[in-house]
Structure 1
Amino acid sequence: MTTATTAPPPRAAGGRLAHVDALRGFALLGILVVNIGYLASAYHGTGLEDPGFTSPLDNAVRWFVTVFFEAKFFLLFSFLFGYSFTLQLSSAERHGARFASRFLRRLAGLFVLGALHAVLLFPGDILTTYAVLGLILLAARHLRPRTAVYTAAALFVLTAVAYAVLALSAHAAGGSGVDPATAAGAERATEALRGGPASVVAAHLEQLPDVLILLVLFQAPAALAAFLLGLAAGRRQALGDIARHRGTLGSLQWAGFTLGLFGGVVYAHASLEHPGSPYQILAMGIDVVTAPLLAAAYAATVLRLARGRYADRLIALLAPAGRMTLTNYLAQSLVCALLFTGYGLALVGDVPPLAVLAIALVLFTAQAAASRWWLRRHHYGPLEWLLRAWTTLTWSPLRLPAAHNRTPRPGPLPERRGARRSPRIRCRACGRRRRPRRPCAACPSTSRRPSSSC
């Protein structure tokens, strides 16, 4: 008998693995929860509380997001980028296409989109980082899976050691606390973001140097390590059949929800209670080696749920958004910019953290529904289609054929195995078999009820 653990993995349109798309959609949700905090308040990430929101509930929401979301979901997204890289490479090999030139065009397209995104909508863009690190991934495409895993582990460890050395240096120098000029800078940024489009762009350009330092010192090494882990997993086709890796997924959950969660608590305590201190620098190093464990636990949980009792509901919710990650990622920033900056309502600094979190959940739910509607009529998301056209230098059809757009009528429910079936009897008038107490379709009775002859 076929069970949930032995059934083949569900596939979306075009042979895509639906549970991988669901995992990508889940990562997109986590990225939104993190990014919207930076868009809603210029104080977010400075080590200072927004002076308008200092209640216990506000602090509890900050703790929740910092522990469970910050520095975790971009790792999951980066892992999936590396995994998708292997799928693109295999597809190019099957079709005899030149992969390097295609991938370089793809990276160039991502860099242009990311640069526009950083200047116009959100300075904390990740697409430009992916475009640059993608060059390293392209050069490392022939690495053996085991070598890729060892290299990724070395990157995590070396980055953590660098933070520990930096923390010791800061402690020896006696440095502690947040720069007093930070509060004035956050207030200026808030006023600039409430201004017109030119003022918003100027504020983004002013923030870019600080964001660049964060990307180079913190996100880039971790993202590259996640790329390599995704490369190794893709080479092994680890996500092709989840049932074969139930033991590994369980181990990842145990490690992530213990050591990974402990590291998240330490990171949140240092960032929220002791910002700018050597302790915070050390906590960032701890988070570098524990955040991947928590991200892996999230991934293992989603993958197991995607093969369990509620798999259909989970995939229906998350997979469409996961198939349109580029469109949805940029659309998230656009909607938030319209809400929080002078492009629209200019609510920056006016929305409490709990309401910001609620906006993120509502926005993602709307995107999931919109993605599902769009993909019933189209092969790709709009930006995915444009990037694909630039990558392959061909115009693929965007809309599905008209026959695919029709919603199929529900057929009869399949009978459960082992359930008792009603015996069929033979109609005396026409000789056909029918169920008891059911009208015979061949009888000329206009009442549609079983006649006495039946």
Structure 2
Amino acid sequence: MTTSDGSADVLGEVAKGRKEDIDAITNASGTGPVQEDERIVFIDALRGCALFGVLAANMRGFNLPLSLYDTSEKIFPARHDVWMQALLDAFVSGKAYTTFAFLFGLGFAIQMTRAQARSVSFPWFYLRRLGALALFGLVHGAVIWSGDILLPYALGGFFLFWFRKATPKAILILAIILWAISPLLVIGTWIAKHFHVAALHWLAGFDTSTPDLAKTRQVIDTYAHANLSSLVQENGHIWLAWLAPLIPIMAISSLPLFLAGLYVWRKGWVQALPERTATLRRVCAWTLPLGLAAQIACVVANHWLMPQHADSPWVLISTLANIASAPLASCGYATGLALLFYHPRWRSRVTWLAPMGRMALTNYLTQSVFFVSLYSGLITGLYGRVGPAWNMLAAVLFYVAQVRFSQWWFKHFRFGPVEWLWRGVTYLKWPVMRLA
């Protein structure tokens, strides 16, 4: 999660012949403090679009133990639920996560550029920002929902900080090296599980392909009948016992995507998007069909061809193919949205997503609070009893409500509620919240 404030260089790039793009930046986001006219509206719109993917992918985590995240068909075997989960896996899950991690690195580069242009003491500014994000993630993961991603992002951001002065070539090389770590971890887990290699035995503890259904049903019953105290206690127990040990691995696996965002900004590609529609078309034409074709093949294999042979080498190959192809599909989505955004006829149909992305942190946390409360014993007690098909309907309705609320909010306020708090901690000064 990042803000999408750009540097003063952004307007300079856009002004080289694209006055309408300046109007989009200054008008679509509304008035505000001096940073407000530096926003890149497309980044807000991309983040707003990706937020739907995050919500849709997280719904099974709000309604089931995370140990069943990849095997929800064990609890919901109905055909319509299996098909809905397959569609989500093919077109949504993994792609939104990749986009958000990429935007985190991109936001880091934008903040650094802007801070340097204003002679701001960037290191302390950025480190305070990451510290606040880590605190948000700690509270979110340990108290609200154990599937938090903010804390791993913050830890990865501390590592990313040390490469703020690296050359684009060095950033690219490091990203490629780190990208190889995820497949190695998957291969190590498989080897540890099947060949009992002592040196890799610790990786076997991260394998969730064969969850203990008896224990997960106990968790389901606990959440379905939980009051506030027992809900927080159970969530904290799961986060501490199962998710907290994974945080370093999640942070490391996010770093290649952070570095990719940093690299793209350093190369000046985002700043020149309005002039590069031909390049965007070529990239989208290659990455979107190839990425989605590979993702669909992986889903078909996992859901229908290999479920009875979960320990076979083909599952390992499918997992590695999924890791490799998800960024391709994400790139296709992002470049496709950019083509729509910079097309005169489609721009107004895309910019309505920008308010959602401007308060992405608020909306992300709100999604967790609402659906954890809704499905638990606090409201309906439907935890573990509503399958992917109904979850998808609930996600669409709630997302539309969030978009409408975000649009209304920015007619009256400059920042989202959590963004305002985050900005105050970062700058050690509370910004003006209301619009004049």
Q: Distance in 1 between matches of 2:363 and 2:435?
A: 20
Alignment match of 1:184 (pick from 208, 214, 223): 214
1:355-408: CA deviation from partner (whole Å, max 9, x where unpaired): 10111111111111101101011111111011101000012100000xxxxxxx
Alignment match of 1:251 (pick from 278, 282, 299): 282
Partner of 1:210: 242
Q: Distance in 2 between matches of 1:73 and 1:181?
A: 25
After TM superposition, give the deviation of residue 222 of structure 1 in Å: 3.4
**Which structure is higher in helix share?**
2
Q: Does 1:307 align with 2:342?
A: yes
After TM superposition, give the deviation of residue 342 of structure 1 in Å: 2.4
Structure 2: any 5+ residue segments left out of the alignment? 1-16, 31-35, 198-203
Q: Distance in 2 between matches of 1:181 and 1:84?
A: 37
1:145-195: CA deviation from partner (whole Å, max 9, x where unpaired): 2221222122223422442354355455699x9887611121011111121
Residues 362, 78 of structure 1: CA spacing in aligned structure 2 closer, same or farther, 3 A cutoff?
A: same
Q: Distance in 2 between matches of 1:89 and 1:152?
A: 19
After the TM superposition, which of the residue ranges 390-399 and 333-342 deviates more from structure 2? Answer: 333-342
- Number of equivalent positions: 393
Partner of 2:165: 142
- TM-score, scaled relative to structure 2: 0.83
After TM superposition, give the deviation of residue 79 of structure 1 in Å: 0.8
Partner of 2:229: 198
CA contact (8 A) 2:143 2:236 kept: no
Q: How much is the aligned-residue C-alpha RMSD, in angstroms?
A: 2.5
Partner of 1:425: none
Q: Does 1:105 align with 2:135?
A: no
Equivalent position SS for 2:431: coil
Residues 303, 244 of structure 1: CA spacing in aligned structure 2 closer, same or farther, 3 A cutoff?
A: same
Q: Distance in 2 between matches of 1:73 and 1:216?
A: 20
Q: Which amino acid aligns with 2:231?
A: V
Q: Which amino acid aligns with 1:387?
A: W
Percent same amino acid among aligned pairs? Answer: 27
CA contact (8 A) 2:156 2:252 kept: no
After TM superposition, give the deviation of residue 239 of structure 1 in Å: 1.7
Residues 246, 328 of structure 1: CA spacing in aligned structure 2 closer, same or farther, 3 A cutoff?
A: same
After TM superposition, give the deviation of residue 46 of structure 1 in Å: 5.3
CA contact (8 A) 2:172 2:259 kept: yes
Q: Which amino acid aligns with 2:68?
A: H
Residues 212, 119 of structure 1: CA spacing in aligned structure 2 closer, same or farther, 3 A cutoff?
A: closer
Structure 1: any 5+ residue segments left out of the alignment? 402-454
Partner of 1:227: 258
Alignment match of 2:180 (pick from 157, 162, 173): 157
After TM superposition, give the deviation of residue 92 of structure 1 in Å: 1.4
Residues 98, 70 of structure 1: CA spacing in aligned structure 2 closer, same or farther, 3 A cutoff?
A: same
After TM superposition, give the deviation of residue 71 of structure 1 in Å: 1.6
Residues 366, 185 of structure 1: CA spacing in aligned structure 2 closer, same or farther, 3 A cutoff?
A: same
Q: Does 1:298 align with 2:333?
A: yes
Q: Distance in 1 between matches of 2:316 and 2:359?
A: 36
1:202-257: CA deviation from partner (whole Å, max 9, x where unpaired): 3223322333455544x433311110011111223322232333243233323332
After TM superposition, give the deviation of residue 201 of structure 1 in Å: 2.0
Q: Which amino acid aligns with 1:124?
A: G
After TM superposition, give the deviation of residue 124 of structure 1 in Å: 0.8
Partner of 1:286: 321
CA contact (8 A) 1:338 1:346 kept: no
Q: Distance in 2 between matches of 1:172 and 1:388?
A: 50
Equivalent position SS for 2:71: coil
Q: Which amino acid aligns with 2:347?
A: A
Partner of 2:71: 47
Q: Distance in 2 between matches of 1:256 and 1:314?
A: 21
Within 5 Å, which residues of 2 pair with 1:258-269? 258-269=289-300
Q: Distance in 2 between matches of 1:350 and 1:285?
A: 32
1:101-154: CA deviation from partner (whole Å, max 9, x where unpaired): 111111111111111111222111011011101101111111112221222122
Partner of 1:81: 104
The structure whose Rg is larger is 1
After TM superposition, give the deviation of residue 353 of structure 1 in Å: 1.3
CA contact (8 A) 2:81 2:387 kept: yes
Residues 103, 179 of structure 1: CA spacing in aligned structure 2 closer, same or farther, 3 A cutoff?
A: closer
Partner of 2:432: 397
Q: Distance in 2 between matches of 1:60 and 1:336?
A: 22
Q: Distance in 2 between matches of 1:269 and 1:171?
A: 24
Q: Distance in 1 between matches of 2:63 and 2:291?
A: 27
After the TM superposition, which of the residue ranges 338-347 and 239-248 deviates more from structure 2? Answer: 239-248
Q: Which amino acid aligns with 2:61?
A: Y
